[in-house]
Amino acid sequence: MTSGKSEAALRADIIEVGRRLYARGYTASNDGNISVRLGADRLLMTPKGICKGFMTPDMMCITDLDGRKLQGDRDPSSEMLMHLEVYRHRPDVQAVVHAHPPTATGFAVAGIPLDRAVLAEVLTTLGSIPIAEYATPSTRELPEAVRKYIKAHDGMLLANHGALTVGGDLYSAYFKMETIEHFAKISLVARLLGRENLLSREEVMRLQELRGAYGIKAPAPICADDSEDEADASCQTVQAPSGHGARLVPDSQPSLVQKLSASDGETPPDASPEGGEIRLTYRELSALIEDAVRNLR
């Protein structure tokens, strides 16, 4: 009980976090899985094939760090190998949460990492959120894909699958999942609106210094240069242009809408003759923005 909590309290925490994941729509049906360290060499984990919104304390499994079941009537989570991989590489991690929050998973499906310097809170807590390469769920491929990023990141997207977060306790891992989904929604709205002002690299470095002042523990610093090799596990790659003294830099990249209309030479049905934009009626655009803003709440 490295967290100082009793096993009964940790079982109750898993049930509560599972309920919240399900209530917020981060998991559907039997999706997702949760685990916590139970002492130095055991894990308490959600079982296979159960809805996370309706769990009871007796459902949990206890395994060792090699995945052998020590206790429980049910089999451990189908993504147990991914959880074991995290604990193996991150002795500081006490809890792991995996879910499929829809907006963040949309970015994972689109192959767009959440690595732009946009929100100060995200930069000070999670830093960048990369995408682990696609791997067949529940196979040995998935832990291998996660291994590349887990040393330097507390949260990542899993290509065409979902998201993974880790923390010093279960609620910390859960709140990082909330932060990722919230960040994904804000990023989506900004890109729908067609403009994203980025924090300058100088501002990013200033924020990084604040991590220490606020006692935020990050697994790795933000790389000094955004061209850093992403395979470098010692720092986090963040897209932040030089501001030359300014704190905000207008994003020069094309908006999502422009990218969509320019893709593969396929002209969308309502594209303007110039091919620059998709035309939406005022009503369609309002509905789109209203829906996105509603989801932010």
79 is a catalytic site residue = yes
Nearer to Zn ion, 38 or 97 (CB): 97
| Options 105-113, 159-167, 210-218, 227-235: segment touching Zn ion (CB under 5 A) | 159-167
Nearer to Zn ion, 159 or 223 (CB): 159
- The footprint of Zn ion on residues 232-291 (CB under 5 A) is none
Residue 101 sits in the site that holds Zn ion (CB under 5 A): no
> Would you give the end-to-end CA distance of the chain in angstroms?
35
Query: What interhelical angle do 170-193 and 102-110 show, nearest 10?
Result: 60
Instruction: Please give the full DSSP string across 272-285, using - where no structure is assigned.
Output: -TTSS-B---HHHH
| Options 88-96, 160-168, 169-177, 181-189: segment touching Zn ion (CB under 5 A) | 160-168
Residue 167 sits in the site that holds Zn ion (CB under 5 A): no
Q: How far is the CB of 98 from Zn ion (least distance, A)?
A: 6
Q: How far is the CB of 181 from Zn ion (least distance, A)?
A: 14
Nearer to Zn ion, 130 or 241 (CB): 130
Dist. CA 244–CA 250, nearest whole Å: 13
| CA–CA distances in Å: residue 228 to residues 80, 98, 127, 196, 235 | 32, 27, 15, 22, 9
Q: How far is the CB of 31 from Zn ion (least distance, A)?
A: 6
Task: Compute how many residues bind Zn ion; rule: CB under 5 A.
Answer: 1
Q: What angle do CA 220, 222, 228 make, to 5 degrees?
A: 110
| Buried-exposed string 131-164: b where 16+ CB fall within 10 A, e elsewhere | bbbbbeeeeeebbebbbbbbebbbbbbbbebbbb
Residue 18 sits in the site that holds Zn ion (CB under 5 A): no
Which of 79, 85, 196, 203 does the annotation list as catalytic? 79
Q: How far is the CB of 99 from Zn ion (least distance, A)?
A: 7
Q: Give the single-character DSSP code of 140.
A: T
Report the greatest alpha carbon distance in the chain: 66
Residue 162 sits in the site that holds Zn ion (CB under 5 A): yes
Do 88 and 80 meet the contact criterion of CB atoms below 8 Å apart?
Answer: no
Nearer to Zn ion, 100 or 191 (CB): 100
Q: How far is the CB of 138 from Zn ion (least distance, A)?
A: 8
| Options 34-42, 116-124, 157-165, 285-293: segment touching Zn ion (CB under 5 A) | 157-165
Dist. CA 41–CA 197, nearest whole Å: 46
Minimal CB distance residue for Zn ion = 162
Dist. CA 226–CA 234, nearest whole Å: 13
- The binding site for Zn ion (CB under 5 A) comprises 162
Question: Which positions are catalytic?
Answer: 79
